[in-house]
Amino acid sequence: MADSSKRIISVSEHLYQQLLRAYPAAFRHQYGAQMTQVFLDCCRVAYQQSGTRGVLQLWIPTLGDLVTNAIAEHISMLIPRLRRHKVLFHAPRRLVLHRQGGPMLHIANGDSVGGTLRHTGLPGTIVTWKDILHEGPTPAGLSLGQMSQLRAQFLADCALGPYEEVLADFRSRDTTLAQFAAHQEVILWFEHDLYDQLQLIQLLDWFSRQDRTTSTISLICINAFPGIAHFLGLGQLNASQLRSLYETRRPLTEGTFTLGSEAWKAFCSPDPKALEAFLQKDTSALPFLKAALLRHLEQFPALQGGLSRTERQILEVVASGVHTPLEIFRATQEQEESPFLGDTPFWFYLSGLCTGRKPFLKRTDGSTFSLPTADSHDPAFREQVLTLTEEGQNALVGQADWIKSKSGIDRWL
């Protein structure tokens, strides 16, 4: 490399190291070396592509993808100093695209898939949605920030994390989402079940109101994978398998955003008839949505007996001879066409059937059913033995009503 280029790289490195000194030592220790290396690599590429009229400024979004969102702010602060050293230039945008296709934002359903994505070799920022939208409040008319605050409180109440931590996680997620226009492409990684489809339509509703002219929004959504006989979801795939889905992504059309937005509004409506009306539409643009929403409707109390499908399945498997919490959970999941319910919300269904004026389930030792504290494999939790009460037996033959036994119900669906 020419002496002039070496001087530019040297000056850039010096200024960047000076800039990093403004940040806490712990931050520098964790990110400093990686950030500096990526920054200098980009400087070298910029010089190789266009000499002294390089492309450092236009690399900012890509750097944000490759390391952390914070790096974009660091380099923005660095720009005025670099300008004085004549290393900030005006190259065409096509020269700044990352060698693997440009800056990308990946949005996945949860940490399992998000963690695997980090090992696929695909560049970009990864965001995980992590909300069990089929449980708890989702009132209509809220902004994303308002909804996140409400959902964080609900999840905290369900022992899924301290409120402050859940809210901070959601706010970080939402902030990254709000910056999607800095990315050349946004890829949504979801699957076919209710848990994922609700996250997907929430995102489509949000994107439907944004200016998407600078970014392509693509979707990867599957219900099967070659070689996996009983496909449950993306979490079953290793990094190589997940990487193979990248080429199957399809750009979303305006009609798909509209459909997703209509679905979300119907889901959030206080009247379930709105969801029934929506399901009369052509939903083929989102091929797994109709089945997922129909499954959601089965969570509403049945006209006869007042039980949801999940509650009835619990009673049926206990009646069949399954008596401990983990075994009951596994047996009910086997009855699902597309399992969607995680173990934590399931324990609340189980606990609910053990409470009320006339519970449908009870512990055989007469003790009160206890929820797990932190570990569902704790012996004190998993060794509880449940059986049907007389009311529970009556419910299975249509002679007891769950809502009446509890003097009414008060919960969101």
DSSP 363-400: ETTSPPP---SS-TT-HHHHT--EEE-HHHHHHHTT--
In angstroms, how far is CA 241 from the centroid of its own chain? 19
Q: Look at residue 6 in the predicted model and tell me its pLDDT.
A: 74
Residue 330, token pair as written in the block: 């596994």
As to burial, measured by CB atoms within 10 angstroms (0-12 exposed, 13-18 middle, 19+ buried), residue 152 is buried
Secondary structure of the chain: what % helix, strand, coil (to 5)? 55, 10, 40
185-191 and 216-222: which strand pairing?
A: parallel
Residue by residue, what is the 3-state secondary structure of 200-232?
HHHHHHHHHCCCCCCCEEEEEEECCECCECCCC
Tell me the pTM.
0.76
Is 123 in contact with 97 (CB distance < 8 Å)? no
386-388 and 361-363: which strand pairing?
A: antiparallel
Distance CA 28, CA 20 (A): 7
Distance CA 325, CA 333 (A): 12
Q: Look at residue 43 in the predicted model and tell me its pLDDT.
A: 66
Q: Look at residue 93 in the predicted model and tell me its pLDDT.
A: 28
Q: What is the DSSP string of 274-338?
A: HHHHHTTS--TTSTTHHHHHHHHHTTSPPTTT---HHHHHHHHHHHTT--SHHHHHHHHHTT-SS
Q: What are the extents of the domains in the chain?
A: 3-96, 104-268, 309-405
Query: Average pLDDT for consecutive 10-residue bins of the chain (413 residues)?
Result: 67 68 60 68 63 44 39 45 36 29 82 93 93 97 96 93 94 93 95 98 98 95 95 95 96 98 98 96 98 98 95 98 97 96 94 93 94 77 95 94 84 85
Third-level CATH fold of 309-405? Arc Repressor Mutant, subunit A (1.10.10)
CATH number of 104-268: 3.40.50.670
